[in-house]
């Protein structure tokens, strides 16, 4: 069998972790089986349509490097791949169901349906349509038509028996037909199909072989199986994917943190890290291996290794993966990826000079080991590109010292700078170590005021490499600036 799978998002919001997980599993399954991966846009619900979401969909998957074999943008033999362009098909199929006795027209008014709902709630009955129009006579139908009432088309759910959804992961899920939603709408009065009708028709017509989708769709499963039977079609193989939870065991949502992939991208997560980590949400290769490139997954992904248990989305673990992928990057590539973040934070202008670009490249080794996300870079590297706007003297002055002593320490550090030339960072540090000994103080207490003077903050990349990149003249000027500030401090306080 030629495997054909699809990702069928509704354009109702940004691509989130759960959706992307479904897309990745479908994509990797198709690749590992030599099959096809299809993108289909399920935009039948106009009330929830969100403009932005389609752009986000294409951007997100381009960024992840995931491509479909058939879809709205690339075409394919079952085009169009956008449901709003396929309405005639759904209408024709709904008519077919009416003719074969599996569906019927319902002329009930909104008021009538509202009345039923009220009665049901008052009597603590299960909600649902009362099947009033299921057995209308020809005359009644003609009468409603005469009045110009536009009917919806409802599915005739069998009143007896039960339906089994065979699920590759969850096993057989059996549902009594009397418990299936009584006669759901397939076609609305304006001719728009509902999700169930369009989804089933398209999966069949597009020759989809496997449905890998989130477990929240399990409740729709029996109804879909009944629709396949009514059409006389073979249902595809279902495989509902384990839920994705937050650390508290609740379904992953905004309450837990970012869930939109775009937000992760903007915060400086790498696509490699997202793909790797998201692929482990409900799937594993064996019990030990953690690192997988996209190419690995295209070869190794199997449905046999899906887990039944819900997956927990662990933000810390994603950070860890991201850090690992940042460390693995070659310096030039990482420099390129840092540029947009440095521009965004205003550290660099829109068109940086060749000197600035060279400085970014030279600075990569200083931060590569310590970045959690790319967006951490601007605050670590800003001091290389601009003078500190101001100094916080509380940060400059070590706990054990006061302003005069700190000023004296900084003053004694100045002559050491001349010795940096031709020395390695380690050798330069030796000069400071000797000075600290001579002053009878800890090296750290000598370095902290220097670090704050040079970088404007106590948390900086390695100090001696930072000073080398900044250049001795600018280092000297900054230390002198702080010495002056401390002198003022001493005068006002003394
Ligand atoms: N359009 C549905 C969604 O937004 C598709 C569900 C399915 O895969 O059948 O998730
Ligand atoms: Zn009705």
What is the DSSP track for 321-373? HHHHHHHHS-HHHHHHHHHHHHHHTTSS-SS--HHHHHHHHHHHHHHTTT-SS
Q: From ligand 1's centre to the CA of 247, what distance in Å? A: 25
- Rounded Cα gap, residues 20 and 405, in angstroms: 58
Residue 111 DSSP symbol: H
The length of the chain is 494
Summarize the confidence of residues 115-129 as an average pLDDT.
94
- Rounded Cα gap, residues 294 and 470, in angstroms: 39
* 494: pLDDT strictly greater than 60: no
CA distances from 81 to 238, 252, 477 (A): 21, 29, 63
Q: What atom of ligand 1 comes closest to residue 19's alpha carbon?
A: 10
Angle at 257 between CA 253 and CA 259, to 5 degrees: 55
Q: Among 37, 213, 239, 241, which is best to mutate for testing ligand 1, by the most ligand atoms less than 8 A from CB?
A: 213
218 C-beta closer than 6 A to ligand 1: no
For residue 47, what pLDDT is reported? 86
9 C-beta closer than 6 A to ligand 1: yes
Digit-coded pLDDT (tens) for 334-391: 999 999 999 999 999 999 999 999 999 999 999 999 999 999 999 999 999 999 999 9
* 489: pLDDT strictly greater than 90: no
Q: What's the chain's average pLDDT?
A: 96
* 139: pLDDT strictly greater than 60: yes
List strands edge to edge, sheet with 103-106.
103-106, 152-155, 185-187
Residue nearest atom 3 of ligand 1, based on CA coordinates: 9
Digit-coded pLDDT (tens) for 211-235: 999 999 999 999 999 999 999 999 9
13 C-beta closer than 6 A to ligand 1: no
Q: Is the separation of the CB atoms in 433 and 473 below 8 Å?
A: no
Q: What atom of ligand 1 comes closest to residue 9's alpha carbon?
A: 4
pLDDT band at 493 (very low <50, low <70, confident <90, very high): low
Q: From ligand 1's centre to the CA of 209, what distance in Å? A: 15
- For the chain, the farthest-separated pair of C-alpha atoms sits apart, in whole angstroms, at 109
Any idea which residues carry the catalytic annotation? Answer: 254
User: Which tokens sit at 205?
Assistant: 């017509």
Q: Pairing relation of β-strands 210-214 and 185-187?
A: unpaired
42 C-beta closer than 6 A to ligand 1: yes
* 309: pLDDT strictly greater than 90: yes
Q: Is the separation of the CB atoms in 107 and 113 below 8 Å?
A: no
Pick from 85, 12, 79, 97: nearest CA to 39: 79
List Cβ neighbours of 327 (8 Å cut-off, separation of 6 or more): 368, 369
Q: From ligand 2's centre to the CA of 242, what distance in Å? A: 37
CA distances from 240 to 308, 374, 426 (A): 9, 34, 57
E strand or H helix that includes residue 64: helix 51-64
Q: Which ligand is nearest to the CA of 111?
A: 2
478 C-beta closer than 6 A to ligand 1: no
For residue 155, what pLDDT is reported? 98
Digit-coded pLDDT (tens) for 24-54: 999 999 999 999 999 999 999 988 888 899 9
User: Which tokens sit at 461?
Assistant: 């990349």
Global pTM? Answer: 0.93
DSSP line for 420-488 = GTT--HHHHHHHHHHHHHHHTS-HHHHHHHHHHHHHSSSS-S-HHHHHHHH-HHHHHHHHHHHHHHHHH
For residue 386, what pLDDT is reported? 97
What domains can be seen in the chain, in order of their start residue? 4-83+245-315 (3.40.50.620), 86-241 (3.40.50.620), 330-377 (1.10.8.70), 393-492 (1.10.10.350)
* 12: pLDDT strictly greater than 90: yes
* 410: pLDDT strictly greater than 90: yes
The proportion of the chain whose per-residue pLDDT surpasses 90, expressed as a percent, equals 96
pLDDT band at 200 (very low <50, low <70, confident <90, very high): very high
37 forms bridges with which residues in the sheet? Answer: 5
Q: Is the separation of the CB atoms in 144 and 151 below 8 Å?
A: yes
217 C-beta closer than 6 A to ligand 1: yes
């Amino acid at each position: 069998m030629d495997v054909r799978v699809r990702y069928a998002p509704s354009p109702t919001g940004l691509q989130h972790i759960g959706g992307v997980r479904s897309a990745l599993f479908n994509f990797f399954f198709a690749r590992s089986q030599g099959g096809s991966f299809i993108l289909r846009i399920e935009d039948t619900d106009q009330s929830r349509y969100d403009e932005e979401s389609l752009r986000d969909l294409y951007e997100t998957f381009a960024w992840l490097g995931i491509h479909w074999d058939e879809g709205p943008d690339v075409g394919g033999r079952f085009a169009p791949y956008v449901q709003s362009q396929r309405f005639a098909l759904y209408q024709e199929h709904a008519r077919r169901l009416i003719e074969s006795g599996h569906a019927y027209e319902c002329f009930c008014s909104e008021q009538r349906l509202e009345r039923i709902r009220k009665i049901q709630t008052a009597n603590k009955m299960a909600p649902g349509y009362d099947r009033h129009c299921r057995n209308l006579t020809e005359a009644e139908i003609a009468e409603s038509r005469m009045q110009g009432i536009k009917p919806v088309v409802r599915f005739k759910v069998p009143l007896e028996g039960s339906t089994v959804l065979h699920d590759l992961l969850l096993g057989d899920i059996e549902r009594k037909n009397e418990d299936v939603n009584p006669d759901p709408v397939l076609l609305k009065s304006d001719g728009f199909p509902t999700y169930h009708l369009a989804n089933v028709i398209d999966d069949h017509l597009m020759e989809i072989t496997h449905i890998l989708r989130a477990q929240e769709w399990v409740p729709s499963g029996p109804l879909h199986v009944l629709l396949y039977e009514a059409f006389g079609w073979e249902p595809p193989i279902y495989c509902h994917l384990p839920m994705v939870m937050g650390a508290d065991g609740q379904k992953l949502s905004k309450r837990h943190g970012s869930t939109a992939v775009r937000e992760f991208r903007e915060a400086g997560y790498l696509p490699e890290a997202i793909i790797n980590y998201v692929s482990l949400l409900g799937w594993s290769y064996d019990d030990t291996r953690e690192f997988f490139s996209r190419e690995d997954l295209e070869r190794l992904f199997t449905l046999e290794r899906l887990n039944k248990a819900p997956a927990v989305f662990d933000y810390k673990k994603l950070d860890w993966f991201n850090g690992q992928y940042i460390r693995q990057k070659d310096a030039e590539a990482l420099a390129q990826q840092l540029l947009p973040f440095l521009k965004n934070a205003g550290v660099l202008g829109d068109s940086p000079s060749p000197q600035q670009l060279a400085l970014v490249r030279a600075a990569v080794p200083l931060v590569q080991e310590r970045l959690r996300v790319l967006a951490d870079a601007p605050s670590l590297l800003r001091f290389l590109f601009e003078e500190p706007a101001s100094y916080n003297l509380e940060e400059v002055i070590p706990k054990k010292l006061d302003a005069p002593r700190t000023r004296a320490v900084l003053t004694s550090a100045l002559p050491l700078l001349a010795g940096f030339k031709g020395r390695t960072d380690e050798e330069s540090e030796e000069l400071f170590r000797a000075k600290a000994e001579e002053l009878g103080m800890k090296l750290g207490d000598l370095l902290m005021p220097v670090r704050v003077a040079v970088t404007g903050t106590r948390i900086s990349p390695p100090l001696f490499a930072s000073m080398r990149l900044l250049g001795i003249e600018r280092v000297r000027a900054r230390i002198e600036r702080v010495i002056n500030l401390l002198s003022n401090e001493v005068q006002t306080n003394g």
